[in-house]
Amino acid sequence: MALSAACAILLATQVFGGWAVLPLMCLMGFGVGVATPSRDLLIRGTCMKFLGTSSFGRVFGFTYCGMDVGQTLSPLIAGPLLDAGYFSLALMIVGTFQTLALLTALGVGQQRFDR
C-alpha cells in the first residue's frame, strides 16, 4: 500500500516526465495487488481475535459492500476532476486514500474491543 501511495503522489507531483507514467502506474497496480491478500488475512485475523468465528460472514460482507460503494462513488469524484484537467489533484486524492488505508490497516491489530 505504501508503494502504491508513493507512486500516486509521485505522479501527482509530476517530478518525473511523461516517460514515468506507465512504470509508476504499473508499480501502483502491483502494490495494490500484493496488498489484497494481506488485507483479506487482516480482516480474517481481526474477526477471529475480536469478534469470534461467528462474525466472519457479516464482517466480510460489510467490508466488501463498503469496497463496492467506494468503487462506485469514486468515479463521481475523480471523473469531474479529470474532465476539468485536474489530473494531479485526482492522483493526490488517490495517494491520500492509499495512505489512509495503510494507516487503518496498521491500527486494526492495536484496537481493543470491550464485549
Give me the residue spans of the domains in the chain.
2-108
Evaluate the CA torsion angle 95, 93, 33, 61 in order and state its sign: positive
pLDDT in tens, 37-78: 777 777 777 777 777 777 777 777 777 788 889 889 999 999
pLDDT confidence tier of residue 113, bands split at 50, 70 and 90: low
3 state DSSP class of 85:
coil
Per-position b or e across 61-98, b if 16+ CB within 10 A of its CB:
eeeeeeeeeeeeeeeeebeebeeeeeeeebbbbbbeeb
pTM: 0.74
Residue 103 pLDDT level (bands cut at 50, 70, 90) = confident
